[in-house]
Amino acid sequence: MADPAVIEDAPRDFIRDTIRADLDAGRVQSLVTRFPPEPNGYLHIGHAKSICLNFGVAQEFGGRCHLRFDDTNPAKEEQEFIDAIEADVRWLGFDWGAHLYHASDNFEQLYAWAEHLIEQGHAYVDDLSAEEMREYRGTLTEPGRDSPYRDRTPDKNLELFRAMRAGDFPDGSRVLRAKIDMASGNINLRDPVLYRILRAHHPRTGGTWSIYPTYDFAHGQSDAIEGVTHSLCTLEFEAHRPLYDWLIEHLPVPAQPHQYEFSRLAISHTVLSKRRLTQLVQDGHVDGWDDPRMPTLSGLRRRGVPAAAIRDFISRLSIGKTEGVVEMAQLDSAIRDHLNTHADRRMAVLRPLKVVITNYPEGQTEELDAVNNPNDPDAGNRIVPFGRELYIERDDFMEDPPRKFFRLGPRREVRLRFAYFVTCTDFVKDDNGEVVELHCTYDPETKGGNAPDGRKVKGTIHWVSAAHAVPAEIRLYEQLFSIENPAGADDFIGELNPHSREVLTDCLVEPSLAARNAADTVQFERTGYFCPDPDSTSDRLVFNRTISLRDSWAKVKGRGR
């Protein structure tokens, strides 16, 4: 039994309530759940809801959660996807231990159970074409009609089904169907297909099989074989539950699992469907499944979103039966909350403007002490080098600034973060009239950023030392779609945001960034959160913007877009 003290604090929802009641009443001895991805694409943040729920309840109630590949459609499934899914679930922080399964592990058993249904008169081989089957199926308002092949004898059905397995018939020419009720109000019970003929290389069983079970036939039976007690899935499977139960009831399965459905996660300004995400990748609208703009777990990881921030976001969602769209701003805010507490600070200049400190001795450098994270005393300090020539952000200087511009302008004084007060004395323009260099003087008495005479400055700006800074490319990302509900658009590709990526190639970052643990996301002071991209080389760093410092959505809305 789980510790009751832990359960007191645990989240409450109808699924957890059901599990608790089943355990308390002794209907279930020990909780077993599973996360059942189909390996036909990469996992997205919608899947994270299912992963966190399935693995989460297993942890909370002292049970276990399996990872099961629902690999029943070799036409679309690939080893690349299997590997990526395992890596993503692990990255999200969950472990299935020894419990890695595949629906294909059960193909032989499922086949035997299909023969059992045939022998009992509960399944038959149908020769109708796909088109004819659709016509016979009826509609939501009209009952279906029995197939002319429905009354074949069990012996004839067995003979045909074995011939299907032996590869005697072309793909798609026959199917095995459950014999339930063509007049049922639930279309899923109108003699659903259990097996189809398909010659495709399967990532695990290779060319062994020329028939494959459908999701409906494989899923509940795999649950039963693995001893899954609570089979948690999304609402679109609600209408499949009677079929799930019918199969469990009519087969000699070793356990009696139950299915429970909760609402899927949908997020504004993106799409969460493998079909649409596949299209984005295949048609080259993004640079692969792990493009930082993708809502995939691998994309979020590459963008620098920590797994813990995703878990935080998911834990704030309700587990219920109401379909709704969660604002992207909610995910952003979970990411910001997490990084604000955990990310080290660094200095990086995105659009550099040269500064010469004219009263600073030529050739001299200093090592200044800089705090890593004001929100985390354990994060310690680092050294940043300072010298006569620096770079600051172009935006931090104005030739003719308004009064409230608390940065640099002629004769204005600011604090250089961790360093000195400096005053702008002059500036140099190029032939186009663009300011290309500032001349400043520094006050040696203000080392560390405070004046002994109590003099105040309103602005603090970041900088890097010209002699020590490391060149970098910085990639800025915005939302992938311009509209709130691209999934609902007639042509979702047409709603892609043309400005979703901006690449800055002349950035300069403080030298400590060259030596860091490549996986970590840091805050570039005053600019946002960034993480190194795997495209980085030894002489060229590449960073992705994980997220800006402030909520840019409010601003976007204000502009009435």
Residue 221: count other Cβ atoms within 10 Å of its Cβ: 24
Q: Which secondary structure element, helix H or strand E, spans residue 152, and what is its range?
A: none
Q: Looking at beta carbons only, is 238 or 484 nearer to Mg ion?
A: 238
Q: Which of 19, 20, 33, 49 binds ligand ATP (CB under 6 A)?
A: 49
Q: Which of residues 63-82 bind ligand ATP (CB under 6 A)?
A: 70
Residues in the interface with ligand ATP (CB under 6 A) total 16
- Would you give the DSSP letter of residue 487? G
- Residue 264 is a catalytic residue: yes
Looking at residue 317, the DSSP 8-state letter turns out to be S
Give the span between the Cα atoms of 180 and 216, in whole angstroms: 14
Of 52 and 350, CB closest to ligand ATP: 52
492 vs 530, beta carbon nearer ligand ATP: 492
- Catalytic residue list contains 38: yes
Which range binds ligand ATP by CB under 6 A, 56-64, 199-207, 273-281, 433-441? 273-281
Least distance in angstroms from the C-beta of 50 to ligand ATP: 4
561 as an active site residue: the answer is no
Stretch in the footprint of Mg ion (CB under 5 A) among 33-41, 88-96, 240-248, 316-324: 33-41
Q: How many residues does the chain have?
A: 561
Rule CB under 6 A: say whether 50 interacts with ligand ATP: yes
If contact means CB under 5 to 8 A according to the sort of partner, which of ligand ATP, Mg ion, none does residue 223 touch?
A: none
Q: Look up residue 349 and give its two tokens.
A: 């200049």
- Which option in ligand ATP, Mg ion, none does residue 408 bind, with CB closer than 5 to 8 A by kind? none
Exposure of 180 in the CB half-sphere (CA atoms within 13 A): 25
Nearer to ligand ATP, 46 or 387 (CB): 46
The piece of 155-163, 271-279, 366-374, 494-502 that touches ligand ATP (CB under 6 A) is 271-279
The nearest distance, CB 389 to ligand ATP, in angstroms, is 52
Helix, strand, coil in percent for the chain, rounding step 5: 35, 25, 45
Chain positions 222 to 241 lying near ligand ATP, rule: CB under 6 A, are 233-234
Rounded least distance, CB 38 to Mg ion, Å: 5
d(CA 118, CA 154): 6
Residue of the chain from 16, 36, 246, 370 that contacts ligand ATP (CB under 6 A): 36
State the DSSP string of 154-223.
HHHHHHHHHHHHHT-S-TTS-EEEE-S-TT-SSGGGSS-EEEEE----BTTTBTS-SEEE-HHHHHHHHH
d(CA 89, CA 36): 11
- The answer to whether the beta carbons of residues 423 and 439 sit under 8 Å apart is no
Nearest to 407 by CA among 459, 444, 359: 459
Whichever of 38 and 473 has its CB closer to Mg ion, that residue is 38
* Contact with ligand ATP (CB under 6 A) among 92, 160, 272, 349: 272
> Taking CB positions, which residue lies at the least distance from ligand ATP?
46
Please identify, among the stretches 32-40, 238-246, 362-370, 528-536, the one whose residues bind ligand ATP according to the rule CB under 6 A.
Answer: 32-40
Q: Which helix (H) or strand (E) holds 367?
A: strand 365-371
- Cα–Cα distance, 495 to 325 (Å, whole number): 18
Q: Which residues bind Mg ion (CB under 5 A)?
A: 38
Q: Which residues bind ligand ATP (CB under 6 A)?
A: 36-38, 46-47, 49-50, 70, 233-234, 264-265, 272-275
Question: Active-site positions?
Answer: 38, 264, 274
